[in-house]
């Protein structure tokens, strides 16, 4: 696969500068659920976990990816004509098909598709380019106590870029937060966290075997890192994405809430109810969504789990 720039590799001896480049797949302004106040979310590509329910599947891969939205296509045929690799064809019923093994990510099809049917998820930006976008809403941050939140994917998958982005944001007196699954070597995670004001820490399942089945990785490193963060005196919000039939047993709710309560730096325990808004993106990537047909919990079921978590004498929220 031909890429324009190399993915950033962590180098503890690197001489950082504002031209350090990272792979960003989205930037969301006026966010209110990922840290205090009004915030700008910076979504970075790359994640060590492969959660069955991932709402941002375009964030998992550590490279740009083609996304096809068939419903937007007006059948102008320009993408077929411009693709020199023959990566775009038609199926027997006339629908567009993208052979991602042939695609070189030149971006010509996306550039010519004014119907927004073909997109490239992931663009390489410098630290200064990202912060220029973040700074656009400084007045809102100052009025509401907001700032910048690094999300993904997993920000620690691009550690050098995340660290430098957070460092320069701190220099500009911006409140910084990170959403992380915690699956990273401590020396990598700690370097980024020293420039953070808040940690939003995902815990998917307390049973290591179930965690591996649902995400591809065990949870020992994640839980150990959660304990280590306490040494940095950083406030932590433990977040539990609630997945029907996967991690929503009352036993797991109790175990997760008890673990959260054991953290001396806990600010709150956030229950994040399941939704299906990310499902179409799996199809756009040519992949299968494993939770197809699974509906969200009822309000009564969510409140039952909320009440259980509250028994551990911690601040509990629904929805973050």
Instruction: Report the C-alpha gap between 11 and 281 in whole angstroms.
Output: 33
State residue 12's pLDDT score. Answer: 37
Mean pLDDT, to the nearest integer, of 202-223? 97
Main-chain phi, psi angles of 237, to 5 degrees? -110, 115
Do 83 and 192 belong together in one domain?
A: no
Q: Do 158 and 236 reside in the same domain of the chain?
A: yes
**Residue 272 and residue 135 share a domain:** yes
**Band of residue 4 on the pLDDT scale cut at 50, 70, 90:** very low
Residue pair 135/151 in contact (Cβ under 8 Å)? The answer is: no
When mean pLDDT is compared across 14-23, 96-105, 224-233, the lowest value belongs to 14-23
CATH number, residue 85: 3.30.70.20
**140 and 194 belong to one structural domain:** yes
Residue 10: band (very low, low, confident or very high) from pLDDT cuts 50, 70, 90: very low
Average pLDDT over residues 290-307: 95
* 94 has pLDDT over 90: no
What pTM value is reported for the model?
A: 0.89
Same domain, 190 and 275: yes
Angle, nearest 10°, between helix axes 127-134 and 159-171? 50
Count of structural domains within the chain? 2
Q: Provide mean pLDDT across the span 303-316.
A: 97
Question: Has residue 77 been placed in a domain?
Answer: yes
- CA dist 66 and 243 (Å) reads 28
**144 plus 242 within the same structural domain:** yes
In a domain, residue 4? The reply is: no
The verdict on 104 and 75 lying in the same domain is yes
Q: pLDDT of 253-289, one tens digit each?
A: 999 999 999 999 999 999 999 999 999 999 999 999 9
Paired residues of 43 in beta bridges = 26, 151
Task: Indicate if 305 and 208 belong to the same structural domain.
Answer: yes
Within 13 Å, how many C-alpha atoms sit on residue 141's CB side? 21
The reply to whether 69 and 183 lie within a common domain is: no
H/E/C letters for each residue in the chain? CCCCCCCCCCCCCCCCCCCCEEEEEEEEEEECCCCCCCEEEEEECCCCCCCCCCCCHHHCCCCCEEEECHHHCCCCCHHHHHCCCCCEEECCCCCEEECCCCCCCCCHHHHHCCCCCEEEECEEEEHHHHHHHHHHHHHHHHHHCCEEEEEECCHHHCHHHHHHHHHHHHHCCCEEEEEECCCCCHHHHHHHHCCCCEEEEECCCCCHHHHHHHHCCCCHHHHHHHHHHHHHCCCEEEEEECCCCCCCCHHHHHHHHHHHHCCCCEEEEEEECCCCCCHHHHHHCCCCCCCCCCCCCCHHHHHHHHHHHHCCCCCEEECC
Full domain range(s) for residue 134: 21-62+125-318
Is residue 205 domain-shared with residue 76, that is, in the same domain? no
Domain endpoint, select from 101, 121, 141: 121
* Token pair listed for 70: 């068939």
- Residue 97 phi/psi, 5° resolution? -130, 135
Residues 179 and 35 in one domain: yes
Looking at 89, 121, 153, which one is the last position of a domain? 121
| Together in a domain, 130 and 161 | yes
CATH number of the structural domain spanning residue 312: 3.20.20.70
């Amino acid at each position: 696969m031909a890429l324009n720039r190399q993915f950033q590799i962590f180098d503890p001896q690197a001489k950082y500068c504002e031209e350090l480049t990272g792979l960003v797949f989205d930037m969301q302004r006026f966010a209110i659920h990922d840290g205090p106040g009004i915030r700008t979310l910076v979504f970075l590509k790359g994640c060590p976990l492969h959660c069955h329910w991932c709402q941002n599947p375009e964030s998992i891969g550590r490279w740009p990816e083609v996304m096809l939205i068939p419903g937007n296509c007006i059948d102008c045929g320009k993408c077929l004509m411009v693709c020199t690799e023959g990566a775009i064809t038609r199926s027997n019923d006339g629908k567009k098909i993208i052979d991602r093994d042939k695609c070189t990510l030149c971006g010509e099809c996306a550039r010519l598709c004014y119907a927004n049917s073909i997109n490239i998820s992931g663009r390489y930006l410098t630290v200064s380019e990202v912060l220029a976008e973040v700074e656009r809403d400084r007045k809102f941050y100052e009025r509401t106590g907001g700032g910048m939140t690094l999300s993904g994917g997993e920000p620690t998958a691009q550690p050098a870029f995340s660290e430098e982005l957070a460092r320069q944001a701190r220099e500009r007196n911006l409140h910084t937060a990170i959403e992380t699954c915690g699956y990273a070597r401590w020396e990598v995670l700690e370097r980024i966290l020293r420039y953070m004001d808040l940690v939003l820490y995902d815990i998917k399942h307390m049973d290591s075997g179930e965690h591996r089945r649902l995400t591809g990785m065990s949870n020992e490193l994640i839980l150990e890192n959660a304990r280590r963060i306490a040494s940095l005196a950083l406030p932590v919000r433990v977040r539990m994405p609630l997945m029907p039939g996967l991690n929503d047993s009352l036993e797991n709710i109790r175990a997760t809430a008890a673990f959260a309560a054991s953290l001396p730096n806990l600010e709150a325990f956030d229950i994040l109810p399941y939704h299906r808004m990310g499902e179409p993106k799996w199809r756009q990537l040519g992949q299968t969504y494993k939770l197809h047909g699974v509906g969200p919990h009822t309000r009564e079921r969510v409140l039952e789990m909320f009440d259980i978590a509250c028994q551990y004498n911690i601040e509990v929220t629904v929805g973050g």
